[in-house]
Amino acid sequence: MARAVQKKRTVKRKGTEKFGQRRLEIRNAKIKDIRGIADLVRRVYEDMPAYTHGEIRGQINNFKEGCFVALLDDEVVGYCATMQVAEALAFQPHDWDEITGNGYGSRHDPTGDWLYGYEMCVDPKVRGVRIGRRLYEERRALAEERDLTGIVFAGRMPNYRRFRRRVADPQDYLDKVVEGKLHDPVLRFQLANGFEPERIIEGYLPEDKASMANAVMMVWRNPYVERDQPVKKRLPRGVEAVRVATCQLQARQVSDYDEFMRHVTYFVDVASDYEADFIVFPELFTLMLLSFEEKELSPVEAIERLSEYTPRLRTDISEMAMRYNINIIAGSHPTRMEDGDIHNVAYVCLRDGSVHAQEKIHPTPNERYWWNIKGGDKVEVIQTDCGPIGVQICYDSEFPELSRRLADEGARIIFVPFCTDSRQGYLRVRYCGQARAIENQCFVVLSGNVGNLPNVGNMDIQYAQSCILTPCDFPFARDGIAAEATENVETLTISDINLADLQWARAEGTVRNLADRRFDLYRIEWDETGKHPGKPRPRREPLGPAHPGGG
């Protein structure tokens, strides 16, 4: 049982203060702060790798209430990141990569009874306003507000390498710092803020050369809550409803661009009438624009012709999203990039007027050979008014590393526009989409083309059964299918999904795929430059005619 001690609690006061002509603000971190946070980390830790924008995005998306920034005259000068974890995880042997989910904060557990701090940095050029102390106070207030047992983190000991010849080992160094015989600025600061050393953690952060990879487990116990045994917090089954529409689009001959857009507008209008938050169109749905060419174009001519529509298409669909108050995942469209390469790009037009692009990472053999389509260099979540989402174009859904990256960054819905010419191809995408929903405990929405196009050689036949897939657990549909279309029929399929069910499943579900990953055994390392120095992939001739060959 837990007994609350009847004392006056600390009042949480995030806000703005003035120091002369300077303005200091302490608040929860926002997505717009990512660049400033990344720049701060680079300034503070010159001898260690900086965070990627994706890692910071994941930290905020996974537990925004636990991430704080200090801004001095609107410049980020302090940042701290925390997450809730179970006591067993917090106090068992671990390293930084393992406890943080490889830096994304993805092991946040809303049922955890301890607040785990895994980042705290303050610009060394800013003096006299006690930014570090203020950030620690925010952490402490959060722990008190949530009735958590306390705060735990692994603190650096940056003077250890300097004094290593004067001590027997890291524990001896810690003892001498506590006794005041040696000085360590970080440990002294933490001790002064009420944290007590628990034990040495060896090998915690290999990149921390000054600490020689050692850290000190520091603990603050909440004085307002006494625990005589571990507490299992329960997560309420809340409601965070989002309405999703997937358009299974009939390929048809059109007389011009305007007629094509009228077909698209029709389905957007219907989805908007049903008050859908999202509508997703199929991969390469713009191939209809080739149907009014006077002759059938060669693959090279066709891709070049389609790319000419890119600016107009982006503008028109963005205006449509605002006009109909709906977020549109505009399938995908071949686009010539600044370097001259053709990429297969999904344009995500949000109802706030912003436009985002997600390139297909893995072109199929047919795309590479017939159209010379090149793969994109990055995958990242897109922030929407319904939370972070991800997009994977067809074949990309068959590579689980990409979805896991999106889930780590906070995506709860992954949209998969696809284009497949056979049932076998479709089922590859379908089965992989269901696997991604289970692995990442997220929703996956598929949208495909049906029918055929005369005068367009790579749209001979299409096969699709668009669907909205869920994890397989008690809060969701019995068979993991929230809704699905009739196969090979043009239609709009709409379903309400509850994003709060995902949070519950990740914390208390029958299985917890995200939380139960073995970071001590394996992890994925991303080349953030996106430019691998290896040789370009050869254009091997596919076994089959010129068609997308998706899935």
pLDDT, one tens digit per residue, over 462-505 is 999 999 999 999 999 999 999 999 999 999 999 999 999 999 99
Look up residue 344 and give its two tokens: 């297969």
Burial label, 541 (beta-carbon count in 10 A; 0-12, 13-18, 19+) = exposed
What pLDDT score was predicted for residue 164?
Answer: 95
What pLDDT score was predicted for residue 458?
Answer: 67
What pLDDT score was predicted for residue 295?
Answer: 86
Tell which wins on pLDDT, 221 or 543.
221
Over residues 452-458, the mean pLDDT reads 76
Residue 306 pLDDT class (50, 70, 90 cuts): very high
Q: Is 283 a catalytic residue?
A: yes
Residues near 265 by Cβ (< 8 Å), separated by ≥ 6?
Answer: 320
What pLDDT score was predicted for residue 22?
Answer: 78
Return mean pLDDT, the chain: 91
Tell which wins on pLDDT, 410 or 544.
410
Tell which wins on pLDDT, 489 or 22.
489
Residue 49 CA: distances (Å) to CA of 20, 165, 205, 209, 401: 35, 27, 11, 12, 22
Over residues 298-315, the mean pLDDT reads 93
> Which of 113-117, 323-327, 524-528 is the least confident region?
524-528
What pLDDT score was predicted for residue 528?
Answer: 73
Over residues 447-461, the mean pLDDT reads 83
What pLDDT score was predicted for residue 234?
Answer: 75
Residue 530 pLDDT class (50, 70, 90 cuts): low
| Alpha helices, DSSP H, located in 325-447 | 365-370, 400-408, 423-440
pLDDT score of 200 more than 50: yes
Over residues 115-138, the mean pLDDT reads 93
Over residues 355-380, the mean pLDDT reads 94
Q: Supply the pTM of this predicted model.
A: 0.92
CA count, 13 A, side-chain hemisphere, 416:
37
- The predicted-structure confidence for 38-60, as pLDDT tens digits, reads as follows 999 999 998 888 899 999 999 99
The helix, strand and coil proportions of the chain, stated in percent and rounded to the nearest 5, come to 30, 25, 45
pLDDT score of 532 more than 70: no
Over residues 419-424, the mean pLDDT reads 95
pLDDT score of 28 more than 90: yes
What pLDDT score was predicted for residue 127?
Answer: 75
Residue 237 pLDDT class (50, 70, 90 cuts): confident
Over residues 359-367, the mean pLDDT reads 95
Q: Is 535 a catalytic residue?
A: no
pLDDT score of 211 more than 80: yes
pLDDT score of 444 more than 80: yes
Q: What is the dihedral of CA 200, 206, 212, 216, to 10 degrees?
A: -20
Of 283, 367, 398, 490, which one is the catalytic site residue?
A: 283
pLDDT score of 8 more than 90: no
Closest CA to 217 of 199, 205, 232, 241: 199
Residue 200 CA: distances (Å) to CA of 102, 117, 178, 204, 482: 21, 16, 13, 9, 49
Round to whole Å and give the CA distance between 170 and 216. 9
Over residues 519-546, the mean pLDDT reads 65
Whether the CA torsion 92, 95, 101, 106 is positive or negative: it is: positive
| Alpha helices, DSSP H, located in 167-256 | 170-179, 185-192
What pLDDT score was predicted for residue 388?
Answer: 98
pLDDT score of 543 more than 60: no
Over residues 100-108, the mean pLDDT reads 96
| Alpha helices, DSSP H, located in 409-537 | 423-440, 499-508
Of 55, 67, 360, 419, which one is the catalytic site residue?
A: 360
What pLDDT score was predicted for residue 373?
Answer: 94
Residue 4 pLDDT class (50, 70, 90 cuts): very low
Q: Is 12 a catalytic residue?
A: no
What pLDDT score was predicted for residue 18?
Answer: 66
Over residues 68-97, the mean pLDDT reads 96
